[in-house]
Structure 1
Amino acid sequence: MPFVSAGQIIASLEYLRDHTHPFLIAILAAARAGVVVGEGDEDTVAFGGTNETALLKEFSSPVGRPDEAPLYVPFGNAQNKSRWRNEKKYAGSSLQQQRKQRPTVLVQHSDDNKRWRFVPGFEAAITARPKWFAGDLPISLVPIGVWFYRQREITGLAELAELVRTDFKVPQSLIDAGVFTSDVPPVLDSIPLADNAITDGDLFALLQQPPAKPMAEAVPTVTETPASHAQEWTSLAADALDDMDGLRGADRAARRALAALQAGMHVVLTGAPGTGKTSLAKVLFDRVGLPYTIAPATDQWTTFETIGGYFPQPGAGENLDFMPGIVVSAIEEERCLVIDELNRADIDKAFGELFTLLSGSPVSLPYRKRDGDSFKKLRIVWDAGTSDADVHEYVVPPWWRIIGTMNDADKASLKRLSLAFVRRFAFVPLEVPGQADYTAIITEAAAELPAGDVFDAVRDRLVALFATDAGGFKSIGFPIGPAIPLAMLRHTAAQIALTPDAVADALTSEVLTLYLVPQLQGRPDLHTKVLSLVQPHIGADEVAAFAHNLAVWTGFAQQ
């Protein structure tokens, strides 16, 4: 009996790369685990990362796999990363996050995160937004079968679709809805079967290189936009922001930022300390499926850090070559860019020629890049296709964006943003959550930590100071985001464990001194107001020490 051939494996991996999404692993693993369509908790079934890992270990962990990352993920575009994944991290983080981001397909038990159910009508949710859930519909089960059953004797390719349907209990409703098909892709049908199964050595060697384009296709002369990146910002629906990884109260800012990104603008998220500006930037890129790099700005930035410059190359003696900076590297690697605390840098000094690029025009750089024994001129362009063999082009993908963050609290003491820079960005304020959301954030986080009378007392005082609209820091015009009181909660729990006889007054004063007071650096105008707010929550014995530490940071001088 015949086996699938190496050519069919290559073509199948290409198909899975170009036409599917990694979330298919969750769908297949859930169906295989017996997860059913249900209305409530009583219909949930035990399922989770262990099932997804078991699937990958059984079907996608070939001989020769690296010990530290033994799982090979064939679905979707790898975004220039290795397809090999760590078995403890991939299902437990990446796939788990994907499941939580898609509650219209799979939803957890309300109290048990190890039990799941398919949502009634999940087939329609997939067909409404196929690229977000599965890929290009209908997805042929045959390439999945070629990869999964690559060393099994078969009678023909059509048999592989039936094997997948049977082994993975693929719901008939997904076939009927057009999510899956048993049809054999023509490119596979045109490749003959093999007399023998592919050897472990040949298979592992095949996996060391990205699958090549089929011979029948023209090889492009310019770099193509990866399939997963072809989902432009305009294709991201608003409901993709319904669940933002616990970012409460950020809905308005998220939708404003998304509108600006869809309009082709770059974005700066502004707001009080701890409001989740960087987290929101990550959510926006994650939801559209774009890779990104996070870079913290500093006042030492010049165009060397952002654009690049000449630098000695390892192993090249004293020879210099162009080394891309943060922005050019992000373009070259096809990764968007998050710049934290953007206004810590002198923007005019740091961005230089990039102002022209951000306005949509190409830029010629005053450097040359080594190419063998010669050097090429450097240009950053939005459209590839130069005919000049002496030019090396960095091509900016149409979806490439910068999202910066800027802390409102200390913006006056940092670098001024020039108008040339400002007009190229949309500045989106991320407000401190409203009282109800803020209180929920603190109380839900506290519920995950050891409870006790002292801990509960500190928690309640933090709610009063940070979350309430009247009588808290908001009332004096100094709102603080949730990240800071959440750090205080963790510190409180740790300190109680170290010091069992700790008291609430001293602990409240301690965490406020360690985490809040430094935020008031150079703000003598707020000294008296903050002290007045805090005093009732820390007890008379703590007031003098707290006031002294506060004055050190605010610069307040007692008259």
Structure 2
Amino acid sequence: METNVERMLHDAVDGVGDFSAPSTTKFRDVGAVIAQALDVDHDDVYVAAVSKPGNLSVRLTQSVRATSARVAVAVLYEDVDVEATLSSASRMVSEGRPPHVLLVCPDEETGQWRVLHAVVPGGSELSVRLRQFGDPEVLSVQGARARPRTPVVMGARTQRMLNSAVKTAQFVVLIGPPGTGKSTLVSTILDKMRDSPAELGLAGSHEALWGTPDESWTTRQLVGGESIGGEGQIVFKPGVFLRAVESDRSLVLDELNRADMDRVLGPLLTFLGGHDVSLGLSGPSEGTRELWLIHGSESYSEMRDREVDGVRRREYVVGTDFRIIGTYNGLDAHQVYRLGSALGRRFRQIPIAPVDVPTFSRLLDTPLSHVQASEQEDVRDTLTALYDHHLRAFGETISPASFLEIPLMTGASRDGVVSLRLTEAYVASVGGWLTRQDPELRDEMGRDIVSAGVLTEEDWNWAIQQIRFLA
């Protein structure tokens, strides 16, 4: 029998459209479904389209984002040779790049998009969770090299704010620049909701459904709306919010302001204000019912059908343990929408600032494992100094995650002097962000970097020359 996860995965892949179209967001929903099912961070899943076996290693290592993923997903199309692709995936996993590979292809019998094959390192804890995808064929690679993960670091006051907000409010949003670990921090609070719910004032263990809004979202994607059923009939299709309520899960909206949430929320805006709301009518083919969104008095959420004064109703009842947790990036103004004041008042807002310099230096412990032991001290000193200069020059706009990715690329090659490889990794990881900063501040920072001996004048000038091509 097809599982709910399988249906969600098929819908997400089927909704992509043109697999070959250049886009950095077309597979976001696919990644969100897989991250939720495997209980890993959304940033730990990377999805790419693959049309032939020889392209697998290219597609899954084409960026720092790809090479740092814990789970790489290849969507195979155009009748790609699955066995040859599986062989290539096995070689990659044996080298730890990436640690896990999932192959998503159309089922020969049903045509449904499914995870048909998975390649994992021996003893991987994800093997059991893969059963949610309908028991794909799992190939376990013994002796595969595991990739260490960067730990989550959060200041005591931020931790207290976040815990208190989740304990006392149903709607919470983490606000900060890209790369400050907002999605990872959400995962840590979800772990606590599942494993230690009493610490957050919850009655019982709780899971969450992840959604990733984008500019195409309407009320239909979030709440629900009329749709065409498989036989051409009009049906009501629940959105991600109602699916979370029906399955007694909370909801995570990652980077929620990539959609115009003031427009998308529709009746939810009234509900977030504490009122029960009508969602209209279900489709006639289902037996017309009034649809209602109700604030419940019990801890659990549910969907129930009943009659009220002779009127058939389908009620989505939101329990007291239900939470919406969102992440918000207010700095990428050219890519995101602003939250309106009415919506902002309904969320407890938690600021997530870039980590300070000593914390950043400690965070380097894990990514530095990719660098030769003899070079680790130099790389740590240089990166810590670079981060310090950027933090002082640009403040809250800085992305710590981009700097933490630099050791991966620095250690990927042993050709050339380490300072040259580090500068190249700096351009690839931070250059795109640096093009969007004030040129005068950037040049002043560059003079300070060279004056302090962090980079040579030759290396800095080369970096700036290369970065201009990324603008």
TM-score by length of 1: 0.50
Greater C-alpha Rg: 1
SS at match of 2:331: helix
Letter in structure 2 aligned against 1:279 = T
Letter in structure 1 aligned against 2:431 = V
Q: Does residue 458 of structure 1 match 2:379?
A: yes
Which residue of 286, 294, 299 maps to 1:381?
Answer: 294
Instruction: Give the match for residue 326 of structure 2.
Output: 404
Instruction: Give the match for residue 217 of structure 2.
Output: 301
**Deviation (angstroms), 1:356:** 0.9
User: What are the equivalent positions in structure 2 for 1:514-533 lying under 5 Å apart?
Assistant: 514-525=428-439, 526-533=441-448
CA-atom RMSD in angstroms:
3.0
Distance 1:356 1:542 in 2: 56
Tell me: CA distance 1:552–1:350, structure 2 relative to 1, closer, same or farther (3 Å): farther
Letter in structure 2 aligned against 1:451 = Q
> What do the CA deviations read for 1:137-165 (whole angstroms, capped 9, x no partner)?
xxxxxxxxxxxxxxxxxxxxxxxxxxxxx
**Deviation (angstroms), 1:333:** 1.8
Residue pair 2:354, 2:398 contacting (<8 A) in 1 also: yes
User: What are the equivalent positions in structure 2 for 1:189-338 lying under 5 Å apart?
Assistant: 246-289=151-194, 290-314=206-230, 316=231, 318-338=232-252
Residue pair 1:250, 1:431 contacting (<8 A) in 2 also: no
SS at match of 2:372: coil
Instruction: Give the match for residue 440 of structure 1.
Output: 362
> What do the CA deviations read for 1:495-517 (whole angstroms, capped 9, x no partner)?
x2xxx322223222211211112
Residue pair 1:527, 1:550 contacting (<8 A) in 2 also: no
Tell me: CA distance 1:267–1:365, structure 2 relative to 1, closer, same or farther (3 Å): same
Distance 1:268 1:327 in 2: 16
**Deviation (angstroms), 1:411:** 4.2
Q: Does residue 489 of structure 1 match 2:407?
A: yes
Residue pair 1:249, 1:437 contacting (<8 A) in 2 also: no
SS at match of 1:310: strand
Distance 1:454 1:409 in 2: 35
Q: Does residue 355 of structure 1 match 2:277?
A: no
Count of aligned pairs between the two proteins: 309
**Deviation (angstroms), 1:353:** 1.0
Tell me: CA distance 1:552–1:501, structure 2 relative to 1, closer, same or farther (3 Å): closer
> What do the CA deviations read for 1:193-231 (whole angstroms, capped 9, x no partner)?
xxxxxxxxxxxxxxxxxxxxxxxxxxxxxxxxxxxxxxx
> What do the CA deviations read for 1:333-371 (whole angstroms, capped 9, x no partner)?
222122122222112111111111112211111341467
SS at match of 1:283: helix
Distance 1:88 1:287 in 2: 24
Higher fraction of strand: 2
**Deviation (angstroms), 1:426:** 1.3
Tell me: CA distance 1:364–1:248, structure 2 relative to 1, closer, same or farther (3 Å): same
Q: Which runs of 5+ in 1 are unaligned?
A: 1-85, 95-244, 555-559
> What do the CA deviations read for 1:365-396 (whole angstroms, capped 9, x no partner)?
13414675x22121111128864251111111
TM-score by length of 2: 0.59
Tell me: CA distance 1:484–1:421, structure 2 relative to 1, closer, same or farther (3 Å): same
Q: Does residue 510 of structure 1 match 2:424?
A: yes
Percent identical among aligned pairs is 26
Distance 1:491 1:404 in 2: 31
Letter in structure 1 aligned against 2:446 = L
